[in-house]
Chains A and B, each alone.
Chain A
């Protein structure tokens, strides 16, 4: 059974950093591209970043370029999102998702909430 479990969320002050993790199991992690998708409270979904199966390629939405870094450790079957210079508008639930070749997301974790506030 595919499982994705995020961790690392919480309350953080504006301008500070936070690192999210996503532990994957139930599939061959290094065969799949992975992504982070966020959802602000009571709002819709927004794609944040994607990393290729081997970590060689990364893609970001414009609003997080230069502030967020997606990475992975295939030996640990873990996906990461380093978030720097956090802003109030980054407040959201962050989901880890497995990305398919056609760029849809076939499995999602339960999410971890990030609140950026002073």
Chain B
């Protein structure tokens, strides 16, 4: 299976820019997607196919990358962005998720 590696946690101050990385163990073309999960809630789609903003998601969120290295950027970060962010690839079978990056605000 394709392993997706994310940093476990980040802490930033409101108003700053934050980049969350996801590295794949093998190429996934542009088929990387990002989700936000707040405590006690279901995941919510943020970015699909590396750089496409999902419907209703603020333009503060953006995605980039291709192949094996991908980044989710939030600029500027707001207090409501406290959550865990997961990447997911769908190029290789089976679809797999990263372990998640917990974003905390200082």
Contact = CB atoms under 8 A, between A and B. Distances in A.
For A45, A59, A104, A105, which residue has the most chain B Cβ atoms within 10 angstroms? A104
A107 B35 CA distance: 11
Interface stretch (B11-19, B65-73, B94-102): B94-102
Contacts of B43: 45, 95, 105, 108
Interface residues of B, number: 21
A110 interface: yes
A61 B98 CA distance: 16
B83 to A, nearest CB: 14
Interface string A76-113: 00000000000000000001000010111111111100
A65 to B, nearest CB: 11
Interface of B: 31, 33, 35, 41-45, 48-49, 54, 86, 88, 90, 94-100
A46 B97 contact: yes
A102 B54 contact: no
Contact of B48 (A61, A106, A107): A106
Contacts of A107: 45
B29 to A, nearest CB: 10
10 contacts: A44-B86, A44-B97, A45-B97, A45-B100, A62-B94, A102-B90, A103-B95, A104-B88, A106-B48, A110-B42
A106 B86 contact: no
Interface residues of A, number: 19
A110 B42 CA distance: 5
A47 interface: yes
A62 B1 CA distance: 11
A111 B39 CA distance: 13
Given A109-B42, A110-B42, A102 B97 contact: no
A50 to B, nearest CB: 8
Nearest to B91: A103
